[in-house]
Structure 1
């Protein structure tokens, strides 16, 4: 799975929550960790939609 695509999707998802902020409320290490989590989720659940996996993971990051 393309990690660059996942990172771009994560950034777009954060824009939904932080539309007025110019930068992401996370470090690049956190961004890489989220991407790895999403890749692992997709490997464990191949039928899960990538968009759904990204949104769920970002939501958990923000609320947890």
Structure 2
């Protein structure tokens, strides 16, 4: 799985909640979210990547 793809998916998911210029996320947060997504996929390989990304982004925004 490519990191660039996951970062792009995170940004696209955030667009549901924010406009592109007002996203409340920096490079460090993107890195942490992508690491969390890779960790979940490693623990549960059949998990749908789209759902994992959406769940992780939602958890990030809910905190």
**TM-based fold match above 0.5:** yes
Q: Show the counterpart of 1:12.
A: 12
Unaligned runs of 5+ in 1: none
TM (norm. structure 1) is 0.92
Deviation at 1:22, TM superposition (A): 1.3
| Residue 22 (structure 1) aligns with | 21
TM-score by length of 2: 0.93
Deviation at residue 24 of structure 1 after TM alignment: 2.2
Q: CA RMSD in A?
A: 1.0
Question: What per-residue deviation string (whole Å, max 9, x for no partner) do you get for residues 16-52 of structure 1?
Answer: 111x341421110010110010001000001110000
In the other structure, the counterpart of 1:3 is 3
Say if 1:50 and 1:62 are closer, same or farther in 2 by CA, change over 3 A.
same
The residue number in structure 1 matching 2:42 is: 43
Q: Aligned pairs, how many?
A: 63
